[in-house]
Amino acid sequence: MAERVTVTLTLNGERRTFEVPPGRRLLDLLRDDAGLTGSKEGCGAGECGACTVLLDGVPVTSCLVLAASADGHEVVTVEGLLQAGRLHPFQDSLVTRGGVQCGFCTPGIAVTGAAILARGEADPSEQARLLSGNLCRCTGYTKVIEALQDSFAKGGHAKS
Amino acid sequence: MPSRERTRAAGIASDPGPRSTDHGPLGGRHERPDARAKVAGSTRFVADLALPGMLHAALAVSPVPSARLAGLELAAARAVDGVEAVLTAADIPGKNQVGVVFPDQPLLVEDRVRMVGDRFALVAARTPEAAWEAARLVRPLLEELSAVHDPVAALRPGAPPLHEGGNLIRTFKVVRGDVTRERARADVVVEAEYQIGGQEHAYLEPQACLAIPEARERITIITSCQCPFYVQKAVARVLGLPLAAVRVEQAPTGGGFGGKEDYPSEPAACVAVLAFATGKPVRLVLPRELDMQASTKRHTVVVRHRWGADRDGQLCFAEVETVMDAGAYIGLSTVVAERANASSIGPYRVPAVRVATHVAYTNNLFGGAFRGFGAPQVTWAAEATMDKLARRLRMDPLELRRRNVLDDRRRTTSTGQRLPGPVLASECLDRAAALAGWDEFRARSQANSGPVREGMGIGLVLYGCNLHHGGQRLDRSSAVVILQPDGSVVVRVGLTEMGQGNLAAAQTIAAQALGVDPAVVQVWQPDTTTVGDSGPTVASRGAHMSGLAILDAIRRLRTRLDPVAAELLGCRADEVELAGSLASVRGSPERTVPVAQVASEMAARRIEAIATGWHRTRPRRFDPETGIGAPYEFYAIACQIARVKVDSELGLIRVEEVSAAHDVGRVIHRDAMEGQIQGGIVQGMGWAISEELKLDHGRLANPSFTDYTIPTAADAPKVRITVVESEGASGPFGAKGVGEPSLIPTAAAVRNAVCDALGVEIDRLPLTPPTVVAALGDRHPFAWLLSERRVDEHERLATVDRDG
């Protein structure tokens, strides 16, 4: 059996331990070992942002993070944005403001957007810049930024 | 949040529109039925599906564009730990053929390689890593052959032929009026040659499919695709099975844009062959690099124009000759060319027209379906020529278009078809111009001498909705509606959701027709065993064709529902009305019974509560030899006006704003409709300025999102939308498709705006910085620094490898 490393992390608020090969990507740990398939692989090269998760509150492309380097850290995936089964305010705004089309980039956008709200960034141009690591080919981004503005207006930044 | 700021960055639509009202959900903004699951990350795409014992597929592909395959060494691949099958052409149980309209494309190479990415062998292994490692170890014995990478050169005598019969696949024509006479009458004539690059779809979800075999008798394919019925035929052919033994279920599809019309049949055929050979489920997810290299692209084309007008700006004649680069196989290229051919003149009245559209084989990327389907390229050329004519005539480009567009009195198109319904070209032009502030912008003395210059440009399109006459046999659709005992409703349609909102449209149409809340209607993605072949989800026909089939099904369902409701209401069946979740008596709105109660009563009485629906387009006359007749059933018109800023030193373009006026007939779902327009504009903008397919001897040199740059949130312009609604279109409740008209005019508007800003003509797409700088020539601010040689160098860099 090939070498394995032990990774212990706080995943969506729960302390979890995994035995993984040293080269395993965080994205594969999430999708294959933890069964959290909400994070998507669109490019495997850190370009598209569909696999974005929060690592200690900071959005990262999990396809470029070694699982082992998450040891001892806190990871939040799109599944972890929901609280008691309720959508995060930004997720809710994406739904009500028509910001979802094919849905493949959406989990990554939801995670990055939650981080933008948590940071208290209200300026739409700056929000667009912060979202520019998340490619979307369907929406043209208009309704995504509208959703950010909407959830900000509803105080989503205070709740996240 | 100050509203001014929101509007600036977010580009709020100008028309807020109603939310769902008492008159039903039509035209409202209720939640899309697929949105909550998608935003929560719980929607299962193909890569999220796994079965016990499932194998992972990988493909061994050609690194060269043209070669003879003398043999394959497979021992090293088969020796990789975890590999269960390495298959070649000889292992295909049925026909080794995946050509969608013409049988020129083998699934696996037998003896001849014609493009980079041609498949040699299929691998199935227990992990994706093992599968791709084995695929890398497949060693082809290749004798390289000469290749051709320029479609124009491919048509010359002596060019290396890709297939028997030479490289000219087909020529389409439009021949109408006396060009010689009209040319003599013209006061100004514009001649131009446009080099128009292709485009990668860049759907966020790569191509993916899963095959589940049942012995060697039947198979289920779950796939990310636009056209499950295409996949069904392809799989049946490679496995040698009857269609009924192949069940294709469309998985949630992470973007298509045409890229999942024809191409998904290929990966599906691959996993089907592997699944039959191993007896196990097999899943394939293409890595992004291979996906970008091997999948279809928007066609690269060359368009030559000679158009003339009299001194009043009335068009006299238009001559168009287009050469399309099909790549190594026909795929859908002839069908794309058919649309390009019919769309070459745009919404203009021209007494004499000559169009020729040639389709050529080359050893380049594989041309296929892409949002607009040949129309964006010829529209870009037509709109560029209209602006050139305006400049020659010293006429406002808006005015020149107003003088030439089709209208209610003069409604005969360039193919001799009388347009049905109101012709809204002038209306769209005027509405977009008002939204953009066209007159004010032109009146303002623009400070266009500094390094950053501003410009405004128009793009106008006449889009033939649904399939071309040549594809009429496919232009039908199927729906199934089931009224459940609790009053909820199941809808199945044969057209697919790929992000564009077909589920929302189908749900809205069904809810409107049954008078129920959209939330009680569940639309399920198609499966070839539950609905009839409805053709492809393309040509902006999804909402139209599924909607009319749903209305037909509901009409049939009501022949059984209305009598039951009438009995409960104490009226005649023909007096029953459905609205607001209630059945009521016409003229006595106080006498009601809930639709859910009628459903429950139907169940109690064991009355058939399932109905099928069908729709087919009306037959039309069209002569393929002359291109004259009615290529399309009806048309949509759209006008977009772009405002840009151009850094004339660096050649960088910023699209500030796009104002869009769309003739949509009737809005079905407002958010989905706006989303189509906003998304189409940004995708069209990417094609216009930044998305460049760089070819190195037929190999894509930039197969990544770092090197092939699609627009980000920071690049998105402000989008203003105005919809022009009208009565009389043949779609459900009078709706017309919007998916493609949203993209087609954008690049033309951007090109015309950039040329307006700089005062030069740019006849090459995309307008990358080197192209813009080269076009400025000695008008570049640093022309004195940039020698002729260095500008040539820019040009060369911009186009390197286009010709190999």
Residue B20 has pLDDT above 50, yes or no: no
Cβ-based contacts of A106 with chain B (< 8 Å): 38-39, 41
SS3 of B443, please? Answer: helix
Residue in A125, A131, A140 closest to B681 by CB? A140
Coil, helix or strand at residue B681: helix
Contact assignment for B11 to A97 by CB distance below 8 Å:
no
State how far the Cα of B478 lies from the Cα of B466, in Å rounded to an integer.
Answer: 15
Instruction: Look at the block and give the residue holding tokens 């700056």.
Output: A126
B-chain residues near A42 (CB < 8 A): 204-206, 288
CB contact under 8 A, A95 and B705: no
CA pair distance B202, B204, nearest whole angstrom:
6
> Tens digit of pLDDT for each residue in B750-798?
999 999 999 999 999 999 999 999 999 888 877 766 655 555 555 555 5
CATH class of the structural domain B47-145+202-294: alpha beta
Cross-chain residue pair A45–B45, CB shorter than 8 Å: no
| Residue B305 contacts residue B379 (beta carbons within 8 Å) | no
Catalytic hit among B84, B453, B740, B802: B740
3-state SS, residue B246? strand
Residue B19 in this model has a pLDDT that exceeds 60: no
pLDDT over 50 at B9, yes or no: no
**Closest residue in B to A151 (Cα–Cα):** B1
B257 interfacial to chain A (CB closer than 8 Å): yes
pLDDT band at B446 (very low <50, low <70, confident <90, very high): low
Q: What is the CB neighbour count within 10 angstroms for residue A56? A: 12
Q: Which amino acid is at B350?
A: V
Tokens 């032929």 -> residue: B161
Q: B499 and A145: CB-CB below 8 Å?
A: no
Nearest to B238 by CA among B213, B271, B209: B271
Contacts of B680 in chain A (CB under 8 A): 140
Residue spans of the domains in chain B: they are 35-42+476-616, 47-145+202-294, 301-469+624-799
What number is the average pLDDT over the span B119-144?
98
* Nearest CA-CA partner of B651 in B774, B554, B472: B774
On whether the B301-469+624-799 domain is CATH 3.30.365.10, my answer is yes
Name the 3-class secondary structure at B373.
coil
B339: annotated active-site residue: yes
In sequence order, what are the residues at sequence separation of 6 or more whose Cβ sits closer than 8 angstroms to the Cβ of residue A23?
A: A66
Question: Distance between CA atoms of B587 and B596, rounded to whole angstroms?
Answer: 21
SS (H, E, C) B647-662: ECCCCEEEEEEEEEEE
Q: What is the pLDDT of residue B798?
A: 53
Q: Do B500 and A101 touch (CB under 8 A)?
A: yes
C-beta of residue B612 within 8 angstroms of C-beta of residue B480: yes
Judged on CB neighbours under 10 Å (0-12, 13-18, 19+), B672 is buried
The reply to whether residue B38 touches residue A38, judged by beta carbons under 8 angstroms, is: no
Q: Exposure of B22 by Cβ count < 10 A (0-12 exposed, 13-18 middle, 19+ buried)?
A: exposed
A-chain CB neighbours of B502 within 8 Å are: none
Q: HSE of A18 in the Cβ direction (CA atoms, 13 Å)?
A: 26
Residue B69 predicted with pLDDT over 80: yes
User: Among B11-25, B98-112, B204-218, B345-359, which stretch is predicted with the lowest mean pLDDT?
Assistant: B11-25
Of B683, B704, B713, the CB nearest to A137: B683
Integer angstrom CA distances of residue B768 from B181, B650, B752? 40, 10, 15
The rounded distance, in Å, linking the Cα atoms of B10 and A149 is 9
Domains of chain A, residue spans: 5-81, 89-159
Does the pLDDT at position B801 exceed 70? no
Q: Which residue does chain B place closest to A83, by CA atoms?
A: B40
Mean pLDDT of chain B: 94
CATH of domain B35-42+476-616: 3.30.365.10
* β-strand pairing of B112-113 with B67-73: antiparallel
List pLDDT tens digits, range B366-383: 999 999 999 999 999 999
Per-residue pLDDT at B779: 82
Any residues with CB less than 8 A from the CB of B533 and at least 6 apart, and which? B229, B476, B478, B494
B437: pLDDT strictly greater than 60: yes
Q: Count A/B contacts: CB-CB distance under 8 Å.
A: 201
Residue A132, token pair as written in the block: 């520019």
The arrangement of secondary structure in A5-81, i.e. its CATH architecture, is: Roll (3.10)
- Cβ atoms within 10 Å, residue B702: 17
- Quick one: pLDDT at residue B789? 55
Q: For residue B746, which residues of chain A lie inside 8 Å, CB to CB?
A: none
Q: What is the largest CA-CA distance in chain B?
A: 90
B740 assigned to active site:
yes
Neighboring chain A residues of B287 at a CB cutoff of 8 Å? 44
pLDDT at residue B138 greater than cutoff 50: yes
Cα nearest neighbour of A37 on chain B: B48
**Percent of chain B residues past pLDDT 90, beyond the cut:** 92
pLDDT exceeding 70 applies to what percent of chain A? 98
Closest CA to B264 of B225, B221, B206: B225
B357 closest CA partner among B372, B377, B329: B377
- What secondary structure letter does DSSP report for B150? -
Q: How many whole angstroms separate alpha carbon B138 and alpha carbon B121?
A: 8
> A11, A138, A148, A149: which to substitute to probe chain B, counting the most B Cβ within 10 Å?
A138
Q: For residue B727, what pLDDT is reported?
A: 87
Greatest Cα pair distance in chain A: 54
Rounded CA separation A83/A110 (Å): 14
Pick the closest to residue B193 from B790, B765, B801 (CA basis): B765
A89-159 carries CATH number 1.10.150.120: yes
Q: How confident is the model at residue B804 (pLDDT cuts 50, 70, 90)?
A: very low
User: Looking at residue B111, what DSSP letter applies?
Assistant: S
**Cα separation, B734 vs A53, whole angstroms:** 44
Whether B13 has a pLDDT exceeding 50, the answer reads no
In this structure, are residues B604 and B483 in contact, taking their beta carbons and an 8 Å threshold? no
- Residue B503 at interface with chain A, using a CB cutoff of 8 Å: no
What is the spatial distance between Cα B594 and Cα A5, in angstroms, rounded to a whole number? 61
The answer to whether B42 touches A91, Cβ cutoff 8 Å, is no
- Shortest CA distance from A131: residue in chain B: B713
From chain A, pick out residues whose CB is under 8 angstroms from the CB of B714. Answer: 125, 128-129, 131-132
Distance CA B259, CA B264 (A): 8
Contact B716 A140 (CB under 8 A): yes
Q: Determine whether the interchain pair B678/A144 forms a contact, defined as Cβ–Cβ distance below 8 Å.
A: no
CB contact under 8 A, A140 and B255: no
Give the pair of three-digit tokens for residue B737: 């498709």
- Give me Rg for the CA atoms of chain B: 27
Residues 6+ apart with CB under 8 A from B383: B346, B458, B459, B460, B745, B748, B749, B751, B752
B215 reaches A (C-beta below 8 A): no
B712/A91 touch (CB, cutoff 8 Å), yes or no: no
Q: Is B8 on the interface with A (CB under 8 A)?
A: yes
Q: Chain B window 656-685: which residues touch A at a Cβ cutoff of 8 Å?
A: 671-672, 674-675, 678-683
The answer to whether the Cβ–Cβ distance between A94 and B705 falls below 8 Å is no
Over the stretch A8-60, which tens digit does the pLDDT of each residue have?
A: 999 999 999 999 999 999 999 999 999 999 999 999 999 999 999 999 999 99
Q: Which of B114, B339, B371, B492 is catalytic?
A: B339
Q: What average pLDDT score do residues A104-113 get? A: 98
pLDDT of A155? 85
